[in-house]
Amino acid sequence: MDPLLLAASRLASHAGVNEADAGVVGKALVGHVEEVTGKPLVWGAELEDPWLGPRIAEAAEEAMKSIKADWGPVFVYGPLLLPAVWGELIGRVPEMAPAKIWGFVRRGLICSPEAALVVDEGLAVGQVVYGLLPWERKLVDVVMEDTFAMSRGSVRLIEDELQQDVEVTMYLWREEFLDGVTDEDWSIETFEKEWLQEYMSFCRDMRKQKDLDALGDEELKEMTMTGRRSQKDEEGDFPEDGMGSQFSSSPQQHGL
């Protein structure tokens, strides 16, 4: 094995990530960048090596820059206009500024909570979102369906005195799915009334899945075992004569 990868693997193991793939190893380095760069003795002989030490520290610093990088502003015009949706998706509300874009119109979709941005004469109004971290941007990609295509465009800030144009990433509705687009503008009022709770639950699930994907094998195993122990403890509260089953019936049976 490459000596640099071997040292990184040992560092990841020291951080509690066993049998890790390259991505997890990098994450372990990032998570312990202060120790890597400032406290080499904590990690052992690898960081004292005159050749390996500086390279491991440099790799950790570069990984930290990547994880904190801003991939540029994103133009949103549908469910992601709502702060509550952002709260469920990434756990915070990012900085946003109202903007408009020419040559596109926003439309509703048949049987979908999403809005569509399609090429047409006119303009569409939305928000420019700033400061999303890479993992947050990836979650945005996840919640956008395959019927959208990522594109680049230019929008104009509405409340900016200089009326600046900003280069953004945006999600356009694919031409092959235009039969699913309505003739009306997407309605935020309709979304809040008919779709908001379901959509927030979906975003919450996507964020949980992201957290699970980031766990190592040992952490997943421990989580699974903890869940099994909790389930056994709950089952142990019931009598052994089989009467416990009456408490697991559906809420309708109890008039709830």
Q: What is the tens place of the pLDDT at every residue in 118-169?
A: 999 999 999 999 999 988 999 999 999 899 999 999 999 998 888 789 999 9
pLDDT band, very low/low/confident/very high, at 212 (cuts 50, 70, 90): confident
Residues contacting residue 11 through CB under 8 Å, at least 6 positions apart: 25, 28, 29, 32, 36, 43, 46, 56
Give me the mean pLDDT over the 60-66 stretch: 60
Burial of 7-39, coded b for 16+ CB within 10 Å and e otherwise, reads bbbbbbeebebeebeeebbbbbbbbbbebbbee
Give me the mean pLDDT over the 231-237 stretch: 56
Give me the mean pLDDT over the 207-228 stretch: 66
- Our CA angle for 25, 26, 32, nearest 5°, is 95
Tokens 């799915």 appear where? Answer: 177
Residues contacting residue 3 through CB under 8 Å, at least 6 positions apart: 52
Predicted confidence (pLDDT) at residue 114 exceeds the cutoff of 80: yes
Give me the mean pLDDT over the 74-96 stretch: 97
Predicted confidence (pLDDT) at residue 90 exceeds the cutoff of 70: yes
Percentage of the chain exceeding pLDDT 90: 50
Cα 192 from Cα 184, distance rounded (Å): 17
pLDDT, averaged across the chain: 77
- Whether 56 and 29 have beta carbons less than 8 Å apart is answered as yes
pLDDT band, very low/low/confident/very high, at 219 (cuts 50, 70, 90): low
Can you say whether the dihedral through the CA atoms of 23, 24, 26, 27 is positive or negative?
positive
Top-tier CATH class for 74-209: alpha beta
Cα 234 from Cα 237, distance rounded (Å): 5
Q: For 6-56, how does the pLDDT look when each residue is reduced to its tens digit (9 = 90+)?
A: 555 555 555 444 454 555 555 555 555 555 455 444 455 666 667 766 776
Higher per-residue confidence, 16 vs 88:
88
Predicted confidence (pLDDT) at residue 255 exceeds the cutoff of 80: no
CA dihedral 161, 165, 167, 169 (to 10 degrees): 80
Percentage of the chain exceeding pLDDT 70: 58
Q: Where in the chain is the domain with CATH 3.10.490.10?
A: 74-209
